[in-house]
Structure 1
């Protein structure tokens, strides 16, 4: 199993990495403030600051969430929140994870295959962490701009209506999603928020499909 390139670093190195990205974000914001003052666009920083924060956020939130136990990495590109009331929210890799895990020399197809294989292996590992009885009481839910309906159905998921709050969050984080999507595909790629889908599946179905999912992941890794 491939290890996450960030988390194999020492605590000091991780802190330096976080400070590096925080520093870059600050310098970008400072440059925008100076430009706004020069051109007398005084309200520009108020609009740009939240955008910069959305890009920086995963580089801070993901390590902190993992450290506190709020986020669980089953593979470097498959993360879940803690189970709550019989539901587990699942996440594919974020911009932070793609930055550290995607080889810049890979072609777009290689990147997508790697992302999907990590996602599938993560599903399997998640299912293995619960007994059959426990799995029957748990539902998985996640939003993705990588999975399409056909692939999701092969994994055992069904499409669910993406609610307004989810769409607002996705729209607010559009630049972050744009950058992550571009890294994932190896080229500038603008995601269509309207095509971002929410999928749900009983964990018991994933558990029952474990052998099939293993084979599918192996095929993607070939």
Structure 2
């Protein structure tokens, strides 16, 4: 599976981003002008904040990838550069979901696909850092359940207040992402978002399980359309 945004030329990518930027600007400006006219100033500010949180990944993620600050190990598994022995990992953003997930998939297929891409990326990451087992991985997820995460070698830890604030700020972004993942309107419970971490050595110890689960989900995805043939 390829990321349809990055398979385009730089010119095409820039054209897409310009269209998104102009479209967002026009829609938000129109809404704000209407709300200001109605003297709903607080609501106009809220619309601005929500819009910025939703459109930001479409600009931030490609830019950070180009600058090398974000690294893709699969279309829906991204990492930051390691700092102080900590490697922050991320599932796909709203930007990635939009360009990667096939519209024809149902909710179950989408969830399986997201997890499979996560596993595929994790395995690629393990190959990259297999000579450095001192790295610790840290991430958050509202897709990966606790049982599966623990079988992969992760430990669930308490989400700190700053991370909860970031999640709250991005609530509508997460709402749209979660709805795309479930193929229906799905309101996320921020309190159920999990923060997990793992020593790299623990992941290596569970590599066989990760590979088996990845192969199982990949097989399901490769056969998703055969029953309709």
Q: Quick one: which of 132, 135, 140 aligns to 2:137?
A: 140
Deviations 1:155-207 (A, max 9, x none): 11110000000000000000000000000010000000110110001112222
Alignment pair present for 1:150 and 2:150: no
Aligned to 1:211: 208
Partner of 2:73: 74
Q: Distance in 2 between matches of 1:185 and 1:96?
A: 16
- State the number of aligned residues: 219
With the length of structure 1 as denominator, give the TM-score of the two structures.
Answer: 0.95
CA RMSD of aligned residues (A): 1.1
Alignment partners' CA distance in 2, 1:6 and 1:204? 34
CA distance in 2, matches of 1:216, 1:188: 28
Show the counterpart of 1:28: 27
**Per-residue deviation, 1:210:** 2.4
Contact residue 77 and residue 91 of structure 2 kept, 8 A: yes
Contact 1:120 1:217 in 2 (8 A): yes
Specify the SS of the correspondent of 1:167.
helix
Supply the distance in 2 between the matched residues of 1:37 and 1:161 (Cα, whole angstroms): 41
Matched, 1:178 2:178: no
Determine the structure 1 residue equivalent to 2:112.
Answer: 113
Query: Aligned partners of 1:80, 1:48: CA distance in 2, in Å?
Result: 30
Secondary structure in structure 2 of the residue aligned to 1:104? coil
Moved more, 88-97 or 32-41: 32-41
Distance in 2, Cα, partners of 1:15 & 1:120: 30
1:128–1:207 CA contact under 8 A, matched in 2: no
CA deviation vs aligned residue, 1:57-100 (integer Å, no higher than 9, x gap): 10001100100000000000000000111110000000000001
Distance across 2 between alignment mates of 1:180 and 1:122: 19
Q: What is the Cα deviation at residue 209 of structure 1? A: 2.5
- TM-score for both structures, normalised by structure 2: 0.92
Q: What stretches of structure 1 move > 4 A for 4+ residues in a row?
A: none
Is the 8 Å Cα contact of residues 76 and 93 (structure 1) preserved in structure 2?
yes
